[in-house]
Amino acid sequence: MQNQYFHGDKKHYPYFEGWYLKHQIEGKTIAFIPAVHGDENGKWSASLQILLNDGANAGSWYLTWPIEECKIEKNRFWVQLGENIFSEKGISVDIENEELSVHGKIAYSGFQTIRGDIMGFFRFLPFMQCRHGIISMYHSLKGNLNINGKNIIFTNGRGYIETDRGQSFPRDYLWTQCGFGNRNSIMVSAADVPILGRSFRGCICAIHYNMRPYRLGTYYGARIPEYEDGRITLKEGRKLLKVTRLDEHPFKLRAPALGSMERMIKESPVCRVRYEFWVGKKKLFDIISGQASFEQVL
């Protein structure tokens, strides 16, 4: 099979495309970020970043592959890096080096998707540096991973998958995601969007709560009345969302800048975050989760 990319090809660069797969159970979290990237000179490569929060095993790792060892199907979510497979059905991981050992399989079921595209009409705008997508807000897990000699059973855990593509991550941005309760999930992102020599801060948000979806976004008229370090508020009509990071436990990650993975950022794969959501005068939920993910670049 020839290399194929969901939205890009080797004739157009700089370009990157990556997928974020999060797995959680009983205080243990592991996220895999497979990606392909072509820099300004048209040099293509593939990478896998791993974020792990499990006591003494906690850390982040960056692994690379020649582009010839990367295969991606165009019409469904299926990415292969060497012997490692990431797909809508689950993952199969076989990594062994001096720093990290991860082996095992996790199967997915019960994808909770969103209606339409999370970017709205912004996905069509040519000046967008980065386009975000949600593959699954929540799904069930079955299987186990042996990580550095420790077997972790993820059966009955929860998963989340999203994707990004474009040339670069935004100059400054905030992103947070959390699954809570019975199949409830939230994703919030705000970012600097350059346009015609100027910029504005746009936002997107998807919430699944008590089997009902809610959306907020700049393209719906959402405003950002508060944006600070560890804090954001979104207001759209009768909907109001407040997000407050209560602590952080960051690890280093690489981020794309004109297709090159040289930019260094930090993400807390697990930290305490408070989410408050109102519709009109009714407060639908007010939760503090110790299993939230949070990333912000100011």
For residue 179, the model assigns a pLDDT of: 97
For residue 288, the model assigns a pLDDT of: 98
Q: Please, which pLDDT band fits residue 5 given cuts at 50, 70 and 90?
A: very low
Classify 2 as helix, strand or coil: coil
Listed as own residue / partner, the contacts of 267-270 with beta carbons closer than 8 Å and 24 or more positions apart are 267/51, 267/293, 267/294, 267/295, 268/293, 268/294, 268/295, 269/22, 269/29, 269/31, 269/51, 269/52, 269/53, 269/293, 270/27, 270/29, 270/53
What ranges do the domains of the chain cover? 15-297
For residue 20, the model assigns a pLDDT of: 98
- Over range 79-87, report the average pLDDT: 97
For residue 1, the model assigns a pLDDT of: 28
- The model carries a pTM of 0.94
Q: Please, which pLDDT band fits residue 4 given cuts at 50, 70 and 90?
A: very low
For residue 56, the model assigns a pLDDT of: 76
Helices (H), 34-162: none
Kind and range of the H or E run holding 135: strand 130-147
CA dist., res. 242 & res. 257, Å (int): 30
pLDDT digits (tens, 9 = 90+) for 94-141: 999 999 999 999 999 999 999 989 988 777 777 688 899 999 999 999
Average pLDDT score, the chain: 93
pLDDT digits (tens, 9 = 90+) for 221-268: 999 999 999 999 999 999 999 999 999 999 999 999 999 999 999 999
For residue 59, the model assigns a pLDDT of: 95
pLDDT digits (tens, 9 = 90+) for 175-200: 999 999 999 999 999 999 887 778 88
